[in-house]
Amino acid sequence: MSGVEIISFGCRLNAYEAEAMRAKAGEAGLSDAVIVNTCAVTAEAERQARQAIRRARRERPGARIIVTGCGAQIDPTRYAAMPEVDRVIGNREKLEATSFLPVATERVVVDDIMAARETASHLISGFESRARAFVQVQNGCDHRCTFCIIPFGRGPSRSVPVGEIAREVRTLVEHGHREVVLSGVDLGAYGLDLPGRPPLGQMVRRLLASVPDLPRLRLSSIDPVEIDAELERLFVEEPRLMPHLHLSVQAGDDLILKRMKRRHVRADVIALTTRLRAARPELRFGADLIAGFPTETEEMFVNSLRLVDEAGIDHLHVFPYSERPGTPAARMPAVPVALRKERAGRLRSRGEQRLRAAIDATLGATVSILVERDGEGRTEHYLPTRISNDVPPAGTIVSARAVARDRDILIAQVNECAGVTPHPATQALPPPPHGGREPEERASLCSLPLDGGRRGGGESNNTQRLF
């Protein structure tokens, strides 16, 4: 295998930056290289990155291995010490074409991320092998949650102006992406560093008005207390803002939340989900939760377990607590690792129960599905779905009937081609001739993939793996 392979770990922001790096590496003329985009959220994420680096060297002994991402930004010497690694670059440097020049020989190039003051969009036109696109609208974080090391990997909070965001989203839509996810490290802090301090809700409203051809918009994870009044109204009034909201909750016990240095209490989460669900009953919620945070007792853990039901959370991202060196939480009395894992398992089990109940409640209804690959995708409520008949290509939006559940997957059937939202390229195509073979011919026109229906032409030398 030759060309540039990108192995990306962690968050949606890393997925976005992986595409930016792909373009920058191409500009620089980089070839025969593996770029490992690390994550530092947990020790396990870093372990997996090191494992991937070693595997990459075994599989591609002649390739240049470049390591970047939050893990490399926070602890560059650790990655530079690995014999498999040729070069280590920081989170700012990875978005500059000069970092990937074949003549670049300096082994470690990692600047002070805390000096970063601007975040620029990168005009990404597409995401390889993805129907859903991510757009960075914010980077960095000014808060200091006691368990989190990421501010030292991402730097201070900074926002992308709405005009640049709209320009990038418009480009993605023109290239066939039907859904965009707005991403950031601290999404709710959007605009605080911009002239006039425009809040997130205002930006989202202006974006939707500027790109009327975008069918579906989502937000990545956001703190419960950072949802402004205009954003709440948009979730109620705007059908293109998908009815699924993922909250950065972390715990359901007030004392643990205080020790985490979070800015909300459990009542805030319940009040928000109750208020939004009353205004838009179809809304579904997800949440990040940490199990086994230092000092967590069984009673405190049960409060987190109870919050899942009390707030009506159906999609859970659960993490056993992982010590991050240098953080205040790492110095607190620890919960045994085995107990952390056991509690994480109980939380995941409750999440699976709620997800299955959410799928069961959808049976018989008509859902809108963004097809991602091999007939699988997500409904507007972010329910994982598999189409059992007449599978359209990736990148199309189909209207289908929810007919069954296979464990944690919704099974849906597309009844007719009229339920398919065409790729924009089909707008230039004429209708089928009168008397033509409507079902077959029509299906071939209204279900084009992300590349506008092109077939063949060879495969790209650039590949990406996401973990």
Mean per-residue pLDDT, 48-72: 94
Mean per-residue pLDDT, 447-461: 31
Q: H or E stretch including 244?
A: strand 244-250
Q: How far is CA 135 from CA 12, 129, 164, 254, 409, in A?
A: 9, 16, 11, 33, 27
The answer to whether residue 452 sits within a structural domain is: no
CA distance 316 to 369: 21
The answer to whether residue 264 sits within a structural domain is: yes
pLDDT for residue 114 is more than 90 = no
**Are 162 and 290 found together in one domain?**
yes
The answer to whether residue 256 sits within a structural domain is: yes
Mean per-residue pLDDT, 255-279: 97
DSSP line for 150-208: THHHH-S-EE--HHHHHHHHHHHHHTT--EEEEE-SSGGGTTTTSTT---HHHHHHHHH
Domain holding 413: CATH number? 2.40.50
CA distance 20 to 6: 11
pLDDT for residue 424 is more than 50 = no
How many domains does the chain contain in total? 3
Domain holding 320: CATH number? 3.80.30.20
Mean per-residue pLDDT, 19-43: 90
CA distance 22 to 5: 9
Residues 6+ away with beta carbon under 8 Å from 232? 201, 275, 276, 279
Looking at 318, 334, 361, the residue that finishes a domain is 361
CA distance 314 to 450: 30
Residues 6+ away with beta carbon under 8 Å from 255? 300
The answer to whether residue 378 sits within a structural domain is: yes
pLDDT at res. 14: 83
Looking at 78, 111, 144, the residue that finishes a domain is 111
**132-168 pLDDT per residue, tens:** 899 999 999 999 999 998 888 889 999 999 999 999 9
pLDDT for residue 453 is more than 50 = no
The answer to whether residue 78 sits within a structural domain is: yes
CA distance 154 to 113: 6
pLDDT for residue 465 is more than 60 = no
pLDDT at res. 131: 80
Handedness of CA 220, 226, 232, 233 (dihedral sign): negative
- Higher-pLDDT residue of 287 and 18 is 287
CA distance 448 to 420: 10
DSSP line for 104-131: ---SEE---GGG------------TT-S
CA distance 68 to 66: 7
**Are 422 and 304 found together in one domain?**
no
**Are 223 and 316 found together in one domain?**
yes
3-state secondary structure (DSSP) of residue 278 = helix
The answer to whether residue 334 sits within a structural domain is: yes
CA distance 104 to 392: 45
**Are 246 and 181 found together in one domain?**
yes
- What are 123's two structure tokens? 């005009």
pLDDT at res. 1: 59
Residue 318's pLDDT band, with cuts at 50, 70 and 90, is very high
pLDDT at res. 128: 56
Domain that holds residue 305: 115-361
Q: H or E stretch including 404?
A: strand 397-406
Mean per-residue pLDDT, 121-131: 57
**86-108 pLDDT per residue, tens:** 999 998 888 889 898 887 778 99
pLDDT for residue 213 is more than 70 = yes
Mean of all residue pLDDT scores within the chain: 86
pLDDT at res. 48: 93
The answer to whether residue 221 sits within a structural domain is: yes
The answer to whether residue 195 sits within a structural domain is: yes
CA distance 88 to 325: 20
Chain CA centroid to CA 445, Å: 30
